[in-house]
Structures are given as C-alpha cells and as structure tokens.
Amino acid sequence: MHYEIISASRLPIYQQLVQQVREAIARGDLKPEERLPSVRQLSRDLVINPNTVARAYTELEREGLVTNRPGRGVFVAEPKDELTKEARRQRLFESLDKFLTEAVHLGFSEEEVSRLVATRSRQFQWNPAKSASK
C-alpha cells in the first residue's frame, strides 16, 4: 500500500494516515491479518515523526480496525459486529448528514450526488453476507 501525506491539507498528518488505512480496508486493498509497516519504517518512508505514525495506529486500534501484536507488529483486524444494527444505522445517518450538508454547500444537485455516490461505491468491497441480512 502506498501512503501519501498532503502537507497543504488542513487535516493533521495522523488523521490523513488513519483515513488512508480506513479506506484501504474498506476497498479491500488491505485484508484482515495483513501486516502494516512498522512505525519506524513508515515514519522513515514518509519523513514524519514516529510519534505521528504511532498516534495513527493507536487511533485505528481504538476503532477496532487494527490489532497491535507486541514484538510482531500491527495487523489489520478481523471485522467485528459489536454495534447493534440500529446503532450502526444511526452512525451512518450522522455521516450521511455531514456529507450531504457539505454537498449542498458545494452546490451539487441531488442527481449529481447520487451519480457520484453510485460511481464511487463500486470501488469499495461490500460484504454480500451482511447486505443479505438487512
């Protein structure tokens, strides 16, 4: 996986890393049990402070997306269904509301947003077993 830091971004570097790993997992580019680069290696590759990488990995671990195995490294975690369906739906609604508010402020029409969402959603790995149980 290739990580990229955008220095002009208003998003802090650790959040840029968290977002990139989240998206890579969602797209299937990073698979469960796949090892992530070590803190030292990634900080060297990106020329950033190792504490920044460690902070990103800690955030991802808190979210349950990765597991830290002392002495072995950081690995993509197996997906878990800890939240109820209603709690997951509520979190999605909150994210959608933020997204749609931004789209309105940027001047997109409902049709444009629908087309963009349909196009982008094809780039993600969906779990057919979970979709069938809705």
Question: 56: domain range?
Answer: 13-76
* Domain co-membership, 17 together with 64: yes
**Domain count of the chain?**
2
Stretches where the chain sits below pLDDT 70 are 82-83, 128-134
pLDDT digits (tens, 9 = 90+) for 54-73: 999 999 999 889 999 999 99
First and final C-alpha spacing in the chain: 32
* Domain co-membership, 72 together with 96: no
* Domain co-membership, 105 together with 125: yes
Domain assignment present for 3: no
What pLDDT score was predicted for residue 3? 94
Final residue of a domain: which of 38, 58, 76?
Answer: 76
* Domain co-membership, 20 together with 70: yes
* Domain co-membership, 66 together with 92: no
Domain assignment present for 134: no
What pLDDT score was predicted for residue 1? 85
What pLDDT score was predicted for residue 68? 95
pTM of the model: 0.70
Burial (CB count within 10 angstroms: exposed 0-12, middle 13-18, buried 19+), residue 17: buried
